[in-house]
A = this chain, B = another copy of it.
């Protein structure tokens, strides 16, 4: 019930546990010595105490000390090369099942067992996530740590199997300790304090759900915010307007997923969003059988960058020279609220957004836009592109105010997914397809007159006391 009381209790026990460090390791403060002990036979008997001490030391380490510890993880706990070599030779000589098993054992890093035993300490799972977050940062400069991250990721995939996750509704009766994390972790539309939070949780036509893991009691892994409405909203202000009245709770037809945020940097690359959306759809249908339409109201975070690069590189697959003139004024101060300007820009920008979403690809052949990638990969359909939909500083900088509705239609999710996965086909409503025109080639003379639009600067991430999460989607 009372988490903080529990934690205090666990801390006390942990304190007591200190005295049980095995003989000869009593006052041991060297993290490498302890780590070696943990994977040895002593770890079997006294794993809890050693693991506690390692985590305690890690918490107190300075950055440079941590780098040394990471190096030890990478080199000191790697598979034994001689053993790998011997077993590889034996397998090649006679590829029997036993030889394969022996080879499997030889190549498994002692790191995996190290992390498994580290998890014996009370509260260790959260700290192991923190460790991975640190390693993910370190790996950028020291690619040799990649194998450490890979082992951690492998283990976390196993531990954070969807079968172990618990879906919980987040509302105004949720403990404050969890709610403050929702505020901190929201990565799409910033929550501006407790009053703003309450507006998203308390009204009868709002829902929020999160996945939790039993070992991370008060830490959401990912959460989604939902509005129950009578039609598909075309702008985020329709959803988040402070002055709006909660709709009569009677019989909403539409559930709008307007924000999804990953919370744990340490779980980067381990995806839950897909499962979350599907389970929340099941929950909502059960609670409110009147719901028939499930859509998102999602950002298009890569649009402006793509467009700017196309313009600056004069890439005609992005914007044909002949189209440039039509973009004059885009990015100028206050353009989005200047009626004459925005009215003129609407058609060409929407057409470009459709081109971006339907044709722009990343190096791996999948859609360039990360949010599109997520929802299309889940089997959703690109339903509508909305003009002047997000007029926040970030929305304008990243997407010229454009937002998208993706629709989850249970009858076609599977077909969409298959077509997407096998043929790279993007499911889109006819009206979206109708927006796209191939870039128009124009005479050279005209090209020279085309003025590039303001390239837009990268938006600084919102500061926060808690680690900044990786925005998933919506």
User: Which residues of A does B touch, CB under 8 Å?
Assistant: 1-5, 8, 13, 16, 20, 22-23, 41-42, 44-46, 48, 78-79, 81, 84-85, 88-89, 91-92, 95, 97, 100-101, 103-104, 107-108, 116, 119-121, 124-125, 144, 146-147, 150, 155, 157-159, 161-164, 166, 169, 171-177, 179, 193-194, 198, 202, 204, 214-215, 218, 249, 274-275, 278, 282, 286, 377-379, 410, 413-415, 417-418, 421-422
Contacts and interface: CB of A to CB of B under 8 A. Distances in A.
Contact of A91 (B84, B120, B177, B415): B84
Contacts of A173: 1-4, 175-177, 218
Contacts of A16: 282
A215 B164 CA distance: 6
B177 A172 contact: yes
Contacts of A124: 163
A166 B162 CA distance: 19
A280 to B, nearest CB: 13
Contacts of A119: 161-164
A278 B119 CA distance: 16
Given A97-B146, A174-B175, A194-B194, 14 more contacts: A2-B169, A2-B171, A2-B173, A4-B172, A22-B414, A41-B422, A44-B421, A88-B92, A107-B107, A116-B158, A119-B162, A159-B159, A163-B215, A164-B215
Given A176-B174, A215-B164, A84 B108 contact: no
A286 B172 CA distance: 25
A218 B215 CA distance: 18
A183 to B, nearest CB: 10
B95 A81 contact: yes
Nearest to A108: B104
Nearest to A285: B16
Contact of A161 (B159, B169, B172, B177): B159
Contacts of A418: 22-23, 42, 45
Contacts of A177: 172-173
A333 B237 CA distance: 48
A18 to B, nearest CB: 13
A162 to B, nearest CB: 5
Contacts of A378: 45
A172 B4 CA distance: 8
Contacts of A97: 144, 146-147
A317 B397 CA distance: 75
A282 B159 contact: no
A278 B47 CA distance: 12
Contacts of A158: 116, 155, 158-159
Nearest to A164: B215
A107 B193 CA distance: 50
Contacts of A147: 97, 100-101
A175 B23 CA distance: 42
Nearest to A128: B163
A5 B91 contact: no
Contacts of A45: 274, 377-379, 413-414, 417-418, 421
A414 B173 CA distance: 38
A208 to B, nearest CB: 12
B164 A214 contact: yes
Contacts of A22: 414, 417-418
A75 to B, nearest CB: 10
B202 A20 contact: no
Contacts of A162: 48, 119-120
A52 to B, nearest CB: 12
30 contacts: A2-B171, A4-B202, A5-B169, A20-B413, A23-B414, A23-B415, A41-B422, A42-B418, A45-B413, A48-B162, A84-B91, A85-B95, A88-B92, A88-B103, A89-B92, A101-B146, A101-B147, A101-B150, A119-B163, A120-B161, A120-B162, A121-B163, A125-B163, A155-B158, A158-B158, A159-B161, A164-B164, A175-B175, A175-B176, A214-B214
